[in-house]
Amino acid sequence: MANVYASATESGSGADSVQQPPASGTVTIDCPDVGQKLTDVPSAAKSQVDVELATLDQQITEAYTRLAETRQAQADDANYVQNAILGPLKDKRTDVIGRIKADYQQVGGTAPESIDGLATCTSMTADPAQNASGGQSDNGRQNNGEQNNGQQNNGSQATGGPAASDFVDITKVAPNVPAKPGTTGDASTGTFTTVCGANENGNHNTDNVIVAPGVANGAHHLHDYVGNQKVNAFSSNDTFLQGGTSCQNKNDLSSYYWPVVRVQDGTQDFDQNADGGGKEGNVGKILVAKQAQIEYVGSPTGKVVAMPQFLRIITGDAKAFTNGPGNANAHWSCTGFENKVQLTDKYPICPQGSDVVRTFAFQSCWDGQNIDSANHRTHVAFADAGGNCAGGFKAIPQLTMRLVYSVPQPTIENGQVKNAYAVDGFPEQLHKPITDHDDFISVMTGNLMDQVVDCINSGRDCGAGAGEQPQETPSPSPDASSGGGASADPGDSGGEQSAQPPTTEPGTPPSDGGDDGDEGATPKASVSPKASATPKASVTPKADTTPSAAGTDATVQPQTGSDDEHSSEAAADGTQTPAAGGNAPSAGSQTEPQAVTGGLAETGTNLWPAAAGTLLMIAGLLFLLRTRRRF
């Protein structure tokens, strides 16, 4: 796929890729997200509606590609984009929306009237007045640097982002991570860690079985998969149970998957000419995380109940650049800075010796009935600012993840970024950091989920590498109706039917993801696990990501960082994970970060004193033995 600024190419030298600021003009295409408006799809129509929603995504990709390949025509004709791209796209979307309505009618249902007005897409343009600064436009979505020519030095593949303005030197960002809230006496303060690797075996595909089941390349970007090893567009609950797992605990058949991160250094990776890869603007060298930490934590206000088997959760929004920040849940930071700075709409440039960190804190409230919902959001929610699940929702173990990457340091010179790194995404999303997201399907067998709940509710740290294993017979779940760890009938699709949102919405209901992207995000909750010398993470109120020192024209080189910023990370870098979800809106920019404080228990740091004591004891014994031999 050609770049949207394909006419402004410049080759890099060596292995570097240089990205140029664009000229004024249409940058990308903004289409309302029809799927987020479908909160209740009849089960008999669900499979066909999923196919139609995937068709809408494909139409946007094709329109964006045409936008990218016709820069000269756009320059010659001011009406070209509307007449040749947006107009035909509206007609195609109108047909698909009509088919979705017919799918409802065929099974005796009625589609929401709100989808009738979602066929029209608009163009997003760069502001010529901001070409020099790369600053953000008033609507918080676009600036002159939001796209680049991205022509790699091999000359064979252009990219659609990121831009210089998508990066910030983390040493120049003021601390934005507030203190965690306290816990109540009923808090569930334990943890359960599962070790599943970092996809060292290269288990990838561009499908998304949650959002687009039965549709190949439904994600339009590449995923890393750990845990369950048989996950693709055509997987089912039956195949999940037969999939095998990369996890050390073989009863954890859950699927944990996320978009890959690439360095745009001119490398042609295995999918350079494939759908979802280079053909859709996802180019460069795929990075394997050096650490992938998965931990389940509890609630600061009460006990948790078991997740049902086959529960699906998506956290974050792969289309947040055009949808707006309502469902965004991206967190970017650097080792040594995680307790200080968390970014949602910027990629950090880390100092030497510091690694890039992505963290995720999933929704921790469940409606008690459904393993999925039509828009894949309304069956789960974030707790409120006090850590409570509202509207009858139940607290479940909160999945947290921490991914650490050794990334070559990007540099910015004269408004251009060299050797950028970026998360894979839909091409029209321009690889914005705010589009980061994570996917999860809970498939624990035996009584493993009951063990998870017991460990968390009893305040113990359990699982692989946690130093304590769960009891043989865990205490019963507080809510026997929650499904526990027992295997559900894989053929029973009843749990997949969507429930109507409760009359009283959960503490933080998901955004409808429509075209109201300029509205601020709904606050997500703060959850604080048990207090300890090494605190776990908590997602706390959003904060402005604007660096204290501005200016993209000058070369951006991060400071080295003080020794105390990195000392704890050097010993225990692989042991931190975020815990809970929460953010309150602030008066800053529209796309502001939820901060994630801390990480997993820093076991490496805690083990050093024990190791030193052991060495001293051995030395003493040797001294006594030598003394006895002499006398």
The answer to whether residue 614 is domain-embedded is no
The answer to whether residue 325 is domain-embedded is yes
Antiparallel, parallel or unpaired: β 411-413 and 416-418: antiparallel
Query: The tokens 């919902």 sit on which residue?
Result: 373
With beta carbons less than 8 A apart as the criterion, state whether 402 and 357 touch: yes
Going by the DSSP 8-state scheme, the letter that residue 174 receives in this structure is P
Do both 324 and 397 map to the same domain?
Answer: yes
Do both 113 and 198 map to the same domain?
Answer: no
Do both 562 and 494 map to the same domain?
Answer: yes
pLDDT at 488 > cutoff 80: no
* Domains contained in the chain, number: 2
Do both 68 and 162 map to the same domain?
Answer: no
* DSSP SS3 for 352: coil
One-letter amino acid at 529 equals P
CA distance to 451, 550, 591, 600, per residue, from 191 (Å):
11, 40, 31, 9
The answer to whether residue 605 is domain-embedded is no
Look at residue 68 in the predicted model and tell me its pLDDT: 85
The answer to whether residue 631 is domain-embedded is no
The domain of 355 spans: 18-22+126-600
Exposed e or buried b for every residue in 185-198, given b needs 16+ CB within 10 A? eebbbbbbbbbbbb
The answer to whether residue 145 is domain-embedded is yes
CA distance to 299, 367, 578, per residue, from 596 (Å):
16, 25, 6
The answer to whether residue 272 is domain-embedded is yes
* DSSP SS3 for 130: helix
pTM for this prediction: 0.69
Do both 304 and 225 map to the same domain?
Answer: yes
The pLDDT tens digits for 34-51 are 998 998 899 899 999 999
Do both 103 and 225 map to the same domain?
Answer: no
Binned at pLDDT 50, 70 and 90, residue 24 comes out as very low
The answer to whether residue 111 is domain-embedded is yes
Do both 103 and 202 map to the same domain?
Answer: no
Do both 403 and 548 map to the same domain?
Answer: yes
Look at residue 415 in the predicted model and tell me its pLDDT: 86
Look at residue 414 in the predicted model and tell me its pLDDT: 87
Do both 281 and 390 map to the same domain?
Answer: yes
The pLDDT tens digits for 284-302 are 999 999 999 999 999 999 9
Binned at pLDDT 50, 70 and 90, residue 401 comes out as very high
CA 165, CA 168: separation in Å to the nearest integer?
8
